[in-house]
Amino acid sequence: MQFKNIALVGKHQSEAMIEHILHIAQYLIEIKMNVFIDCHQEDDSFINKNVNIGKLVDWLGHIDLVIVIGGDGTLLSVARQVIDFKIPIVGINQGKLGFMTDVVVEEMIEVIENIILKSNYTIESRTLLHANVLRDNKNEYHSVALNDVVISRGAIGNMIEFDIQIDGQFVLSQKSDGIIFATPTGSTAYSLAAGGPILHPNANVFSVVPICPQSLTNRPFVTSDDSVIEFILARENATQIHFDGQECFDLQLNDRVVLKKYPEVIRLIHPRGYNYYRTLRKKLEWSKRVS
């Protein structure tokens, strides 16, 4: 895969972040790449640097590769923007956890060189979850999530009541603070904190994880990612649907949310030798001995 037009995305909230972006930009210019820096407002730091400054969304038809500098939250936002354009993503981790942004800042230039000049990398496909809100059998709202779709109580704070069907078969009625529908990628995010299972990113499944259910018999379960999952809001209450924690929409009584695998995938580029289980050991401190 050849890369020529490369976008850099990162939150410009610190001098260190701007320095990282400029460092990568300068290297890419030196090796004759066309550089695009995502910047939603004019930033003097990037002026006269021989780069294109603007919004990622305006370049999606021209970009070959996106380099995300920051944490998983930034990568999630980028993923939903590029999904229909088949643009691969490299994640540079400036945070602490970062399951998807797996390249450390200290090695970023070496890794980028291996990817662009030496084609020395692996590419991994990640499944997304699509949710469509139906109100009176009409499409009311829809979006996609790389991590999870979460339906939870709103500002009032009362538990919500709902039914779940899978492939047209009734599964359960539940009263709880909400429910998480997680992809394998999202299994190490909110789902994990709520007691859900860790899933390998290449597993062809989704997990369904209740949030503080009223009944102790309600437990997380896993279903095929070829399934069609339906959520039906059974009691009027303040209820919201969230996509990767970055988009939300208010639900109403009898709204149906239809969830299924999105037809496109996100392509994550990793350094050669990337190992998911090594990432788990490091991030979750599985190798740390208890004294």
Evaluate whether 183 touches 194 at the Cβ level (below 8 Å).
no
Type of residue at 95: G
Evaluate whether 125 touches 83 at the Cβ level (below 8 Å).
no
Token pair 């945070």 is found at 95
**Token pair belonging to 197:** 């299972």
| Environment class of 100 (CB within 10 Å of its CB; exposed 0-12, middle 13-18, buried 19+) | buried
Q: From the CB of residue 105, how many other CB atoms can be counted at a distance below 10 Å? A: 15
Q: Spell out a b/e string for 29-43, using b for 16 or more CB atoms within 10 Å of the CB, else e.
A: eeeebbbbbbbeeee
How many residues does the structure list for the chain?
A: 291
Given 72, 102, 148, 255, which residue is catalytic? 72
Q: Look up 38 and say whether it is catalytic.
A: no
DSSP-derived pairing of the beta strands 5-10 and 34-38: parallel
Residues serving a catalytic function are 72
